[in-house]
Structure 1
Amino acid sequence: MEIYLIRHGIAEEQREDVKDEERKLTKEGKQKTEKVAQRLAELDLKFDFILTSPLVRAYQTAEILIKTGLGDKLEESTHLAPNGDISAWIADWLEPNTQTSKISPETKLALVGHEPDLGNWAELLVWGEVKGNIVLKKAGTIGIKVPEQATPLGNSQMFLLTPPKYLL
């Protein structure tokens, strides 16, 4: 299975009159995210499922992925909200008797969320521990191959780390 960790696009600055979870993508954020999504589509990437943080900026990013034809199944996951728990996500999506009826070794999942969580998740999947070395830029993508038979934590392989500037 392949997991693509995708950070939301450029969002409105934090302000006292707008809750963090309600911050939207800016015009520039939408445009750059659309360009990145178009480039991913040109690379023949298609997701079987797109899971997104419930925060507005991440959900808008996921909607752009859908609009661009990168997938058609969109689902919110509270695990992808800031400070989400990767172990709980793995239990819900990757362990037997859960969502696995939807998942096969060929499945491609897009997980749309936030930093530093996505970088931390990538490190946990690849190295089994957070080192604080992977930083995912806004609208950037990390691709990780998850093993079929072993626990994914510390046993996965990163095959893609792309800041948006290389896709624009």
Structure 2
Amino acid sequence: MPNLYLIRHGIAADRGTYANDDDRPLTAEGDRKTRQVAARLKTLKLRFDRILSSPLVRARQTAEILQSGGLSSRWEIFPALAPDGDLREWIDWYGNLDKSAGGDLALVGHQPDLGDWAESLIWGEARDVLVVKKAGVIGLALPDTGPPLGNAQLFWLTPPKFLLG
């Protein structure tokens, strides 16, 4: 089973501090903690074949930190990971992905979307119960065959404090 890691962006500037919310960057603390989380994930021997990121600045910065931390050799923007993005776009993308090489994937995005996406992949519907903390991680095992919607298995849900401790 390939693994999918849903990773929320790190701590960002407060809402309202930028005219366009999409432009809010990570704070110095958010950058530092995200780098620490990336280093911890590396010590856990995680490696992503690819990282897909929301186009918003704070998510892109998080994806760059994950890449520079040695967790992947590549990352790219995936517009559906922006707030209120459509999970079905990712499911279509995943359905067309050549999975023969294997490899885990990471999606960097926002809450509540990441929690909703995880719930939909696990239960087939969003239930508004899973919360991904800033720089937190949800790990899902995706099915080898068939659609991932409603067929994924949750194996990891951790806030950053358990990765930083």
TM-score computed with the length of structure 1 as normaliser: 0.94
Pairwise CA distance, 1:48: 0.4
Amino acid at match of 2:63: A
Q: In structure 1, what is the equivalent of residue 84 of structure 2?
A: 83
1:12-23 matched pairs, under 5 angstroms: 12-15=13-16, 17-23=18-24
Q: In structure 2, what is the equivalent of residue 108 of structure 1?
A: 104
Cα 1:144–1:53 shift into 2, 3 Å: same
Q: In structure 2, what is the equivalent of residue 126 of structure 1?
A: 122
Fraction of identical pairs, as percent: 53
1:90-101 matched pairs, under 5 angstroms: 90-92=91-93, 94-95=94-95, 98=96, 100-101=97-98
Aligned alpha-carbon RMSD (Å): 1.1
Q: In structure 1, what is the equivalent of residue 43 of structure 2?
A: 42
Q: In structure 2, what is the equivalent of residue 63 of structure 1?
A: 64
Gap runs ≥5 in structure 2: none
Counterpart CA distance in 2 for 1:10 and 1:121 is 21
Contact 1:105 1:148 in 2 (8 A): no
Q: In structure 1, what is the equivalent of residue 136 of structure 2?
A: 140
Aligned residues: 163
Gap runs ≥5 in structure 1: none
Is 1:156 aligned to 2:152, yes or no?
A: yes
Contact 2:18 2:24 in 1 (8 A): no
Runs of at least 4 residues off by over 4 Å:
none
